[in-house]
Structure 1
Amino acid sequence: MILTPLTLLVVGIAAGYDYMTRRIPNFLTFPAIILGLGLNAYYYGFPGLGNGALGMLLGIALLLIPFFIGGMGAGDVKLLAAVGAINGTAFVLTTFIYSALIGGIMSIIAIILKRQFKATMSNMFLFMVPGAKMSQPKTGIPYGIAIFLGTILSFYTGVIW
């Protein structure tokens, strides 16, 4: 089946781009979404297309709030949408959970290494106060790597839902 190698190729390239440039390019994510939907329709007919479309929408929905509050970029959202379009709803949910856990660990490591613990804790409390000014610690991580590792874990462990 081509869906697994396609997924690993897309998330692997995206992780590399994200690591090098802190961006995940549209020329990677949009064709992956279209190809994923098309292959699902080809292999599984209308039900496959539906599962791919719902997986894409779920991938978007899961990262929409973090995107809107500035916690991640649009490329991360589109990458998870591509994973959903290729593999469907159950797989993208599993990948999201693993990616969130890995991303959390990566964030903690970045906070420690960049000595941003105090600013991060302050921002966590100020986030709940309407109109409060938060500092801008430089602890961003290339979340495409977390999605890549979460995808690998999803394939390795199987869908947990």
Structure 2
Amino acid sequence: MFIPAYAPPAPIAPCVIALVIAAASTDIQCRRIPNVLVAAGLLGALLVQCWLNGIGAGAVAWLTGAAVGLTLFLPFYLLRGMAAGDVKLLAMVGAWIGPLLVFHAALATCVIGGVWMLALTARRRQFKKVVRNIVSLVHPALRGGGVASIESVGSVPYGVAIAAGTVGVLLTAAA
């Protein structure tokens, strides 16, 4: 995977890492990502982006990154494959690190989360359900009762995958 040859300015990476670790830990413990954490992260990102880039450019950088982060995971939420907190968390990450790095973080997150779900599915011996769900999503005519007919094979605290993907991209970009 191509990682940009630049790292975000100095205060951004430590702030993002602290925020995603906090989100991952609450997601593990409570199976939710608190809105107050996401809101504080968004506000902090706006302040830092404006401080680094000026008010106009900072606001645009903040909004662009948040919009890309939101847009990348929104379809998964709409298909009931992801919780709203995960979508909001990636939007917050995007507000901090910008559209290009959040795109890479989302890709890394999907790889990490996908491997994690495959391992979980293998451990639970639920591959037939996964195949039925994928066929149902790919071929809408086979869906029958819509998205609600898809049977869950379990869930994971996806904030952990988002944290791992984000930290991995930030560390790789810094190297």
TM-score by length of 2: 0.85
Q: Per-residue displacement from partner, 1:46-75 (whole Å, max 9, x unpaired)?
A: 223211210000000000100000010010
- C-alpha contact 1:25 1:75 (8 A) present in aligned 2: yes
User: What is the CA-CA distance between 1:135 and the residue it aligns to?
Assistant: 4.5
Q: Which residues of structure 1 form unaligned runs of 5+?
A: none
State the number of aligned residues.
159
Which residue of 2 is the match for residue 148 of structure 1?
163
Q: Per-residue displacement from partner, 1:125-149 (whole Å, max 9, x unpaired)?
A: 1222344243523321111111101
Q: Which residues of structure 2 form unaligned runs of 5+?
A: 1-9
Which residue of 2 is the match for residue 137 of structure 1?
152
Of 99, 105, 128 in structure 2, the residue corresponding to residue 118 of structure 1 is 128
For 1:22, the aligned partner's letter is: R
Superposed CA RMSD: 1.5
Which residue of 2 is the match for residue 42 of structure 1?
51
For 2:40, the aligned partner's letter is: P
Which residue of 2 is the match for residue 98 of structure 1?
108
TM-score by length of 1: 0.92
**Cα separation, 2, equivalents of 1:4 and 1:135:** 38
**CA spacing shift, 1:80–1:135, aligned 2, 3 Å:** closer
**Cα separation, 1, equivalents of 2:134 and 2:144:** 11
Secondary structure of residue in 2 paired with 1:88: helix
The list of structure 1 runs, each at least 4 consecutive aligned residues, that deviate by more than 6 angstroms after superposition, is none
**Cα separation, 2, equivalents of 1:99 and 1:149:** 7
Q: Per-residue displacement from partner, 1:16-36 (whole Å, max 9, x unpaired)?
A: 111122211101001101110
| Identity %, equivalent residues | 31
Which residue of 2 is the match for residue 54 of structure 1?
64
